[in-house]
Amino acid sequence: MNELEQRVAELNKLLHEYGHAYYVMDNPVVPDSVYDQLLHELIELEAQNPSLIYPDSPTQRVGGTVLAGFEKVEHTTRMLSLSNAFNEEDLRDFDRKIREAIGEQVSYVCELKIDGLAIALRYENGVFMQGATRGDGSVGEDITANLKTIKAIPLRLNEPVTIEVRGEAYMPKSSFDALNARRAEQGEELFANPRNAAAGSLRQLDPKIAASRNLSTFIYSVGGDAEQYGINGHDEMLSYLQALGFKTNNERLACASIDDVLAYIEKWTAARPHLPYEIDGIVIKVDSFAQQDELGFTAKSPRWAIAYKFPAEEVMTTLFDIELTVGRTGVVTPTAILAPVQVAGTTVQRASLHNEDLIREKDIRLGDTVIIRKAGDIIPEVVSVVLDQRPEGTTPYEMPSHCIACDSELVRIEGEVALRCVNPACAAQLAEGIKHFVSRNAMNIDGLGEKVVEQLLREQYIADVADLYTLEVEPLLALERMGQKSATNLVEAIDKSKTNSLERLLFGLGIRHVGEKAAKILAAEFETIDALREATMEQLIAIHEIGDKMADSIIAYFDNDDVGHLLEKLQQAGVNMTFTGKKVDASNIDSFFAGKTVVLTGKLTQLTRNEAKAKLEALGATVAGSVSKKTDLVVAGEDAGSKLAKAEQLGIEVWDEARLVEQFA
């Protein structure tokens, strides 16, 4: 080796050592300036002598190429997730089941649950070959180029082993704050939380972006059988991974009993805000591999581990006002208007208060300081009032006695918690009824948004849904923000809706208790609206899915003279009133999901993405990858990010996983 070669080798060695101390051990051994100086020397020597560039040289972390897309990577063994525990009882249950299965001698390892994204890294003979995302657990995406830019990921291990390791890539809080500050300055959209920022960075096709984002990793397991490396337990394996050169988390603790586990949780619940990275819980694992093998797996997760999730973040804010809205059926719904506040990653300024009883029960008053959280991490709700911060002179909140839209007296129907406006001519109900009539799952008339409907009513262009069919282009041009093109499109869309099959009309009419599914069943069964109008109670309840309450409501609806008049007007306008739909597969016709476009986002814990997709498709839904105006429903699992935000922005219905599973049952 000549002098030059020796110097290049030495620089590689030193930079590797110093980088490892800094990025893996969090324990720098030289000042940054020394590292930078050596790195620049190496960059220069390599530039003059390209044949001396080592493949694992620290200069090789950012390659020059921008990818066209990510390749798929099939995982050698499935990347599972963990089942969740939310309280002490769940944890004691977990412990009891384990001891019942394997006896009293069990030792646990507790670890911090890093809030990032799962990655799998493959090394051959000690050299980093490929890194992938979790994806759906079976197939992920090849993000090697981006992962190479993370300095905590060794490009070469201390031993020439062939191994796959798994862990979490994350963005430290300080990098996240700096990144968002930069983005704010440049007027770019901010990331909601460090996890989204990390995931967003690793999804970039240009590795330079990931390189600029200061990501890091913690490695917590071996993919496949770890015993082949002569290791017998999880704790020992983490030490081995650290010796190989990986960054492991040193806050882990071996616990001899579930009480020790609970103490660890208590400690980290308090200390969590002081950590330099986000955690969302604690992972508890049986230490011994032999015992892990004995316990085995369920379809989704190992029986030897569980994730304790911290309770939903609760924050304080001020309740400015309670907004009341009158729905299509006259139900008055109160919504809390809040001082904007960050909760679990998004800014919240409204929260549903459900009904009068809830307001009374929690004694929520205007001006109160309230505690809010997101139910299922998704839907904002008021948890309680901070009484000792209540301003002086407040009085209990009183719901109005009269409708805010039409001033008729509100009533409380026996057995219902809701207050209702029962005036059929109420302007607010009418507006809501028309919005429902034109909505996508009903008559599907595009271009009739909330503002247009309100103007049409205000300017007395329409007084009911049948009047929509009398609208013409010319007069529409007088409305705000209505140009020739939108007016023409609107009239065409209205005209097109005349040919809809009966079930759309039935659903659109908004007969109480008749949802989309029932409308389909009724339309297919009776085929014409006249046949349905003549149906008797007996005929109706003879249909499997139609109960007494719905049958009563249908009969009462058609018994009403105003309804008769409305149907006549619709008929004269040329609206189709017969069933022309496909006699779809019986198993699909009564599916809530039939014909709907559903987007799954976030982590699902009770079933895999693929299982959810397969079930939805079997029930007639189309499962789409991105949220748009065409989406009917978004199912948001844990830690849902931008798709959930987009759904909220577009006002698309959002369910949590529990509700989806319930619907499948």
CA-to-CA distance for 129 and 157, rounded, in angstroms? 12
Total residues at interface with ligand IVH (CB under 6 A): 13
* Radius of gyration (C-alpha) of the chain in whole angstroms: 31
Residue 376: HSE in the Cβ half-sphere, 13 Å Cα cutoff: 18
Candidates 128, 220, 289, 397; binder of ligand IVH (CB under 6 A) is: 220
> HSE of 511 in the Cβ direction (CA atoms, 13 Å)?
28
Among 81, 217, 248, 291, binds ligand IVH (CB under 6 A): 81
Name which position in 73, 114, 405, 633 contacts ligand IVH (CB under 6 A): 114
| Binding status of residue 216 toward ligand IVH by CB under 6 A | no
Q: Which stretch binds ligand IVH (CB under 6 A): 34-42, 74-82, 523-531, 646-654?
A: 74-82
Pick one of 283, 494, 604, 607: the residue that binds ligand IVH (CB under 6 A): 283
Q: How far is the CB of 467 from ligand IVH (least distance, A)?
A: 54
Q: What secondary structure letter does DSSP report for 640?
A: -
> By CB under 6 A, which span of 77-85, 156-164, 341-349, 366-374 interacts with ligand IVH?
77-85
Distance CA 74, CA 623 (A): 22
Q: Which one-letter amino acid corresponds to residue 166? A: R
Q: Where are the beta strands (DSSP E) in 479-548?
A: none
Of 14, 80, 231, 341, which lies in the binding site for ligand IVH, with binding defined by CB under 6 A?
80
The residues, ordered by sequence, that sit 6+ positions from 53 with a Cβ below 8 Å of its Cβ are 46, 59, 60
Q: Under the criterion CB under 6 A, does residue 172 sit at the interface with ligand IVH?
A: no
Site for ligand IVH in 298-337 (CB under 6 A): 302, 307
x/- mask, ligand IVH, residues 221-240, rule CB under 6 A, reads x-------------------
Query: Residue 634 and residue 601: Cα distance in Å, rounded?
Result: 7
Q: Which stretch binds ligand IVH (CB under 6 A): 76-84, 152-160, 449-457, 472-480?
A: 76-84
Annotation says 113 is catalytic: yes
Among the candidate windows 113-121, 205-213, 454-462, 617-625, which touches ligand IVH by CB under 6 A?
113-121
> What letters, b where the CB count within 10 A reaches 16 and e where it falls short, cover 160-177?
eeebbbbbbbbbbeebbe
CB of 280 to ligand IVH, least distance (A): 8
Which residue lies nearer to ligand IVH by CB, 307 or 607? Answer: 307
If we measure between CA atoms, which residue out of 174, 207, 199 comes closest to residue 116? Answer: 199
Check residue 111 for interaction with ligand IVH (CB under 6 A).
yes
* Token representation of residue 378: 């998704």
Provide the edge-to-edge strand list for the sheet that holds 163-170.
Answer: 127-133, 117-124, 163-170, 216-222
Please, which of residues 118-137 interact with ligand IVH by CB under 6 A? 118
Q: For 165, list phi and psi in degrees, rounded to 5.
A: -120, 160
Query: Minimum CB separation from ligand IVH for residue 642, in Å?
Result: 19
Options 72, 97, 113, 362, the catalytic residue: 113
Instruction: Write the CA distances from 568 to 189, 208, 514, 530, 577, integer angstroms.
Output: 52, 66, 21, 11, 11
Q: Which of 82, 110, 286, 353 binds ligand IVH (CB under 6 A)?
A: 82
Q: Of the two residues 111 and 656, which places its CB atom closer to ligand IVH in the complex?
A: 111
Place of tokens 């748009």: 628
Q: Using CB under 6 A, which of the segments 112-120, 436-444, 459-467, 529-537 binds ligand IVH?
A: 112-120
Instruction: Return the range that interacts with ligand IVH (CB under 6 A); candidates 52-60, 108-116, 287-295, 401-409.
Output: 108-116
Closest approach of Cβ 515 to ligand IVH, in Å?
Answer: 35
Q: Is 242 exposed, middle or buried (0-12, 13-18, 19+ CB in 10 A)?
A: middle
Six token digits for residue 282? 């604690």
* 207 in Cβ contact with 143 (< 8 Å): no
**In the complex with ligand IVH, which residue's Cβ is closer, 302 or 447?**
302
Q: Residue 234 CB: number of other CB atoms within 10 A?
A: 25
193 contacts ligand IVH (rule: CB under 6 A): no
User: Which is closer to ligand IVH, CB of 116 or CB of 433?
Assistant: 116
Nearer to ligand IVH, 48 or 298 (CB): 298
Residues that bind ligand IVH (CB under 6 A): 80-82, 111, 113-114, 118, 168, 220-221, 283, 302, 307
Residues annotated as part of the active site: 113
